[in-house]
Every structure is written in structure tokens, then in C-alpha cells.
Amino acid sequence: MNLTSIIRPVFNSRLHAIERYESHAEDIQRDTLERLLHEAARTEWGQRYGYDNMHSYEEFAAKVPVSTYEELKGYIDRMRHGERDVLWPGQVKWYAKSSGTTNDKSKFIPVSRDGLHDTHYQGGTDAVALYLHNNPLSRLFDGKALILGGSHAPNYNVANSLVGDLSAILIENINPLVNLVRIPPKKIALLSDFEEKRDRIAEIAIKKNVTNISGVPSWMMAVITRMLELSGKQYLDEVWPNLEVFFHGGVAFTPYREQYHRLIRSTNMHYMETYNASEGFFGLQNDPLDAAMLLMIDYGVFYEFIPLDEVGKPNPTVLPLWEVEQGKNYAIVISTSCGLWRYQIGDTVKFTSTNPYKFIISGRTKSFINAFGEELIVDNAEKGLHEACKATGAVVSEYTAAPVFMNAEGKCRHQWVIEFSQQPADMEAFANALDLALQHINSDYEAKRHKDITLQRLEVVTARQGLFNDWLKSKGKLGGQHKVPRLSNNRDIIDDILKLN
């Protein structure tokens, strides 16, 4: 009997709970909110809004305002200095440093002990449970797990308090039993210099029987590339013949899929998307044949949604989960066991099913191009690139795009800076294919492109190898969970990147 078959039953109990998502979603979410309100009733925030006497979602929605990071920042900074019972009971000692802002200022997301266990670690457990359920012949635990993480640093001068990448906080506090099957050792996993960490992980990992890998696709690819250089091998399955799954998240997998397929030839290789952000663990791909993820509704997270066209309005419509509609884009609002209350995380989703609730990440509320009324979102960009790559044989590793505003002749267009791991033979054909695909996917873009009157065909600028990593490095954001902003409605980011090209 192999080790995986012995461990497998430990995860089976969760499958029954997840099955309830289909028929009891509203009950589960109402119960989640009730628990959160009860636990936070004695906090400063809970007393301010009367959580003690709050008995329904409807009361909660009527009395508690929707918030942004800027509105909670003062509370969070006091927590970081050691104050107790502010947004969540007790002292919160861990803070995930998020790069999810467009102005180079970091956000510090509180990670309470409750949130660590009932949300972040629960998400990791359920990823394994669903994977094992879908793969009865798995030997997942008969080898090692390579888990990539960022780094952390002391938080002010508060004892035992840390600030850093969420992944580093998770590794720092992980159950010691997990360390028996995880590489690299903690001291290497938490190194702050990504290039040193990449090299040392590659040196260690070559010698191990790795069956599963977890991390952000771009940073994992950097480790894999280095490992193949050191080993002299061409394919990853030559180094790890028993590799069977990549649990990936942090950025959309579409631009990286072909790179992984080229390097891992094994027909037994699987890919499972996870939606784990600094603010919480929200979704898991429960069906290998469906790219949409299952919304995880019994963690320490209560969900609400704002229709995308109302984001930024003074009094937007805010819907609980049980009132969302399939096929519409929504901005996510969360209340969590880390003390975030009706908090807009900046991501947008589109539901592909409401029984159970399954979704795709469609973009970010600040990551889009709508300079000319075209309303181009990240989901459009990913699908367009996929079609252009399929048509031309190209493989994209990184990209960003922004508008080129009207010149004296009234000409304007979108400009794409793309780093290819495999360039198309004909760049003009690639640009045409991308432009046509975007028109097919997005009717607003198509209307603006009609006869080149409002919007001219997009322009592709080929990035040199390593450009995006160099840009991230120049911002002190190399490694961890940092990522390149995909779409911007202004030229600040793209011009900054072009200076390095």
C-alpha cells in the first residue's frame, strides 16, 4: 500500500461538506456571516456598528458601509502597532504585503490566526481533497511537494509580528507535519533575494522525487528553467518522472500554459487553478475539464458583489451571493475572519454557474482599458492572446497593454508590450490575429474598431527577454506573489517598462 492511499481518507470528509454548496449556498453564507458578526461583536469595529444586536444580512448591509483599503488603513496601521480588538478579536500579528495597487504603495492585509486556519490553510486542504477525488490513481504523497513562497520581515518593533508575502506567512506557520513532505527548507523558502532563492531551490529540487508543485506560474517557470539549465535536461519529466500536478494561482495561467506543456510531456500531468489572494482563499478548480472555479463558501469569508458598471459610484448596488446572475461581471466585496468588513478587493469575477456557484476571474477593477469606450478587461485579453498564439504558433510569457491617446490626426490605438518565449514567424500576422480575436470577443472593442474610425489596429512592441522581470526588480517586486499589471487605462506603467526595453 502506498502512502497516498493511507492518507486519502483524511481528506474525504470535506467532499461531503463541499457537496452541500449546490443546495445550501444561501444558508451556508448566512451562517458564515452570523459567525463573523458574533466573533467580532466586542471589537472596536463591531461595537461601532452594533454587531451585538445584528441578526441578519439585511441589517448588516443597511448599517455597515462598503469599504476600500484607504478607509480601513488607519485601523490596520493601529493593529500593526500592536493594538488589540480593533477589526478582529485579539492581537493580529501577521500582515500580507500586497502589491495589488497601481500607485506603487503597498497594502498591508491583516492575517489573523483564525483567518490563517479557517480560510488560507482550509483552501490548501480542499485543493488536495478535490485533486485526490478527481485522480483516484494519484501518488501525491509518495514524493515531495515543491512550494514556492516569498519572504517576510519584522513588523515595526512588535514582538513576533511579521509583514511580507502571504506565501511566506503560510510557510512560516505551517503544520510541522507538512514540512516532512515539502521542499525547500524554510530558511531557503523565505530568502528575500529571489535570484539566490531560485538557484538554491533548483539545486535542491533536482535531487528530489517531486510529485507536485505549487506557486505563481511566472516564478515557478523561473525555477524550472534554472533547474533544466543545471541538470542539462530538456524536459521537466526527465528530472521529475513522477510529477503529476501543478497547483497554480496568483496570475492567469493562459499565457503560461503552452510553456508548461512544452516542458512537461507526461500525459499524467494535471493543472489545478486556485484563487488564493492576500485577502483570502476564494476558489478552487473542482473539475479538470472546466476552467471555472468553485466559490468556497464555508470558509471565514462572506461574499457580496457589485455590478461592474456600478463600481466607483457613490451608492452602488451590492448583492449577496444568492442574488448574483450568471454571465455578468461583478467586483468582489468580502467580510472575513481577518477583520476586513465589506471590503472591495479589486478583483472582478463572472459566474458561469449558480448551482453550484462557479466563476472565472475576469480582471481587476483597476486593470482594464476604457480610454475610448471599448471596455477591454483582462479576461478578453487572455482569450485574445490565446487565439493569436494558436493561429501563429507563438508562446507569450509576459505582457502589458495600455492606450495610445489621440494625436493631431485623431489617431489612437492600444499598445501591447509582449515578451515571447516563442516568437511568431510573422509579427504582423500575430497583431492582426490578436486584434480580430478581441473584436470577436468584445463587441464594444469591435464597434470602436469599425472602419478604423475611432480606434486603429493595435500595435505590438516585442519585449526583450527578461524585460518584465527587470522592471519588477527595479520596483523591488521580484519574486513572491508580485505580478505585472496586465491592462492599464493610462500610460504610467507601460512607459516605465518601455524605458527599460
pLDDT in tens, 435-477: 999 999 987 898 788 888 778 999 999 999 999 999 999 988 7
The yes/no answer on whether domain 116-284 falls in CATH 3.40.50 is yes
Q: What would the 3-class secondary structure string for 44-94 be?
A: HHHHHCCHHHCCCHHHHHHHCCCECHHHHHHHHHHHHCCCCCCCCCCCCCE
% of the chain with per-residue pLDDT over 70: 97
- pLDDT tens, 24-67? 999 999 999 999 999 999 999 999 999 999 999 999 999 999 99
On the CB side of 337, CA atoms within 13 Å amount to: 22
Residue 175 has pLDDT above 70, yes or no: yes
- Least confident range from 76-80, 148-152, 303-307: namely 148-152
Q: Quick one: what percent of the chain has pLDDT higher than 90?
A: 70
The pLDDT of residue 104: 34
- Rounded to the nearest integer, the mean pLDDT of the chain is 91
- Of the candidates 434, 313, 461, 418, the one whose C-alpha atom is nearest the C-alpha of residue 376 is 434
Give Cα 51 to chain centroid, integer Å. 31
Q: Where are the beta strands (DSSP E) in 270-428?
A: 270-277, 280-284, 293-295, 301-307, 319-320, 329-336, 343-354, 357-364, 368-369, 376-377, 395-404, 413-422
Compute CA distances 49 → 6, 52, 63, 97, whole Å. Answer: 48, 9, 7, 28
pLDDT at residue 499 in the model: 95
How much is the pLDDT for 439? Answer: 94
Convert the pLDDT of each residue in 371-419 to its tens digit.
Answer: 877 878 888 999 999 999 999 999 999 999 999 986 655 578 999 999 9
Average pLDDT over residues 79-92: 97
Q: Fill in the amino acid letter for 424.
A: P
Structural domain boundaries in the chain: 3-85+292-364, 116-284, 368-498
Confidence (pLDDT) at 98: 76
- Contact in structure between 447 and 424 (CB atoms under 8 Å): no
Structure confidence at residue 346 as a pLDDT band (50, 70, 90)? confident
Which neighbouring-strand residues pair with 351?
A: 359
What does the pLDDT average to over 105-121? 92
Q: Which amino acid is at 165?
A: D
CB atoms within 10 A of CB 476: 11
Q: What is the pLDDT of residue 67?
A: 95
Residue 239 DSSP SS3 = helix
Instruction: Give the Cα separation of 251 and 398 in Å (integer).
Output: 11
Is the pLDDT assigned to residue 99 strictly greater than 60? no
